Chains A and B, each alone.
Chain A
Amino acid sequence: MSELLEVEGLRVRFRTSGALRAVARREDDPWIDAVLDVSFRMREGETLALVGESGSGKTTLGRAIIGLVRAQSGSIRFEGSELRGLGDRAYKAYRREIAMMFQDPVASLSPRRTVRGQIREPFEVHKSAERDGEAEVRRLMDLVGLPHNFVGRFPHELSGGQARRVGVARALALSPKLIIADEPTAGLDVSVQGEVLNLMSGLQSRFGMSYLVITHNLPVVRHTSNRIAIMYLGRFVEQGTTATIFRSPAHPYTEALLGAVPRPDPRRRRKTVSIEGEVPSLKMRPRGCEFHPRCPYAQERCRHETPATTRLEEGHLVRCHFPLGNGHRTS
């Protein structure tokens, strides 16, 4: 399997206040880093899950990859060609290959267009009208399990799950190689969540595209993703295969996230690792390890020294001075 997407040292910055105001207030740094020094690779047919709390930069990272948000530095290579810094016109070619599904299933559909219009939009934008439009719409609706009599409906006449299916159909339309799914299950009730996830993995085994799933919901990714990357304050704190992450999390943050997932086993008494406090503001990143104010295992070194990314085993990367399992838990 070849590399589909390679992201190296990606950094996305936002300006918090206008340039003039920043000078007036003598702020040294009017910028915040929403995504900082993120590197990862994705292979064809693979599902990578980005997991993190709200504000951890996972959505921004997804949007940077499809070019909706400008990345300041680093590189995004898709099938070997650099995407960062491309203009809208040059990006358009890659938007056939990369599709994105957005968080809110209904709001991400154009309010005054019918289901037919929503699904046809990618064909109209990319001028691929050579195929029979109506038949394409029906084929896509079949793929995502929408009855044909829905073609004339407007978004406000759809339920969340139906709107999500329209979103999936639209993402599928141009047979992309990568689909970025931002919270594909948000706002859906649990049974519909399951249906959407099954639909997505069914389509993956059929067409072999890759998914970059952005979520805060660990159980959602457990059965659908091959690898997981945990984000905290815009950085990847840990990445590894799904099995590794769930079996032996190495970063205290990952451990705490896993601890927050309820398990349906009354006999099991688990050590709950609680994280105290709130996510720090991106404007005031903690010194040293950015997780130290909330880390139950924080030591003196964590307060001063920023940890580098270390490789625990093949494909398991963690950014922590004292990775769990071979560090302080024994002490």
Chain B
Amino acid sequence: MSAPASEHGPGLDAAAPAARSERFATLRRMIRDPLSILGLTLVVLLFIGALFAEYITPYSPTAIDVKARLASPSFEHLLGTDQLGRDTFTRVLYGGRVALQVAAWSISLALSAGLILGMLAGYGPRWLDNALLLLFDSVRSFPTIMFALAIITLTGPSLNMVILVIVVTSIPVYARIVRTQTMSLKEQEFVLAARALGTGWFRILRVHFLPNVIGPLFILASMDIPVVVTIEAGLSFLGLGVRPPTPSWGSILGDGYAYIRATPWLVVAGGVPLILTTLGFTFMGEALRDVLDPRLRRTD
């Protein structure tokens, strides 16, 4: 058969290498925006600080040095020390570790559960959708902090409880987004085409829907990380999060609040990382959105 390929002009062959370097092009586009650079830098710094805390600082976060208590910043103690003489900079680094741990666990658990439940609600039969929606809405109707306080009062403060509370309350948010996306995809012709080929529902969800719904979800998750970090800090501030010797930005803030008359540095040390984390992940989320959503992608 002679290939009737007259509609592909010669220009299309030139477009092939462009498609190959598209991955780099999106990266380059991301780099072009100064805010996303700022976001990326902050996030990378946060990760480095948390992961390599042992190598960055010579102190232990729990080593008490009563002689040097409530010291102001110096070359010895970059952010000063707290009421027990522990190095605040060290505690901020290790506190970032707790914050990221909580964020990583709770977001990834909530994301996977929300993804599965949302796709089932959106693609499954009507009764399943209604049942899951009822469940989502009931969970959503608890105020997060009240729910967390109630649970922690019952079980006692621990990191795992904080994670559990965050997971339970954020599953419905993700699930609802996934459900809406799934429902709009379900109406499209490619689903019929896949079914006409004999594709089963599981494969339709896994191969055809997942890549479409996961992009927006990552963006949302990235923007949710600061929220989770502040919830953890808030609970730790109230003494309901991590147990005392373990450093957390919330407990540093709490100590700073108690000793505000003695030194302002503890409050600064606990508060600034929270602000920077929020800014970092928000800017990164926006940059991710521009990169991951091909419909917003400009073809320049």
B-binding residues in A (CB < 8 A): 63, 66, 68, 88, 91-92, 95-96, 99-100, 102-104, 107-113, 121-122, 125-126, 142-143, 145-147, 149, 152-154, 156-157, 159, 161-162, 167, 170, 191-192, 195, 198-199, 202-203, 206
Contacts and interface: CB of A to CB of B under 8 A. Distances in A.
Interface residues of B, number: 30
A244 B58 CA distance: 95
24 contacts: A63-B192, A92-B198, A95-B196, A99-B197, A102-B192, A107-B189, A108-B192, A110-B190, A110-B207, A110-B208, A111-B188, A111-B190, A112-B212, A113-B208, A145-B1, A147-B8, A147-B12, A147-B13, A159-B7, A161-B7, A162-B7, A162-B8, A195-B4, A206-B1
B146 interface: no
Given A110-B208, A111-B190, A161-B7, A125 B13 contact: no
A111 B212 contact: yes
Query: Which secondary structure dominates chain B's binding surface?
Result: helix
Contacts of B158: none
A142 B4 CA distance: 11
Nearest to A88: B200
Nearest to A189: B7
Contacts of B194: 110, 121
A108 B190 contact: yes
A88 B202 CA distance: 13
B5 interface: yes
A95 B197 contact: yes
Contacts of A159: 7
Interface string B236-257: 0000000000000000000000
B3 interface: yes
B19 interface: yes
A108 B196 CA distance: 11
B187 to A, nearest CB: 10
Contacts of A112: 208, 211-212
B5 A147 contact: yes
Contacts of A104: 189
B189 A102 contact: yes
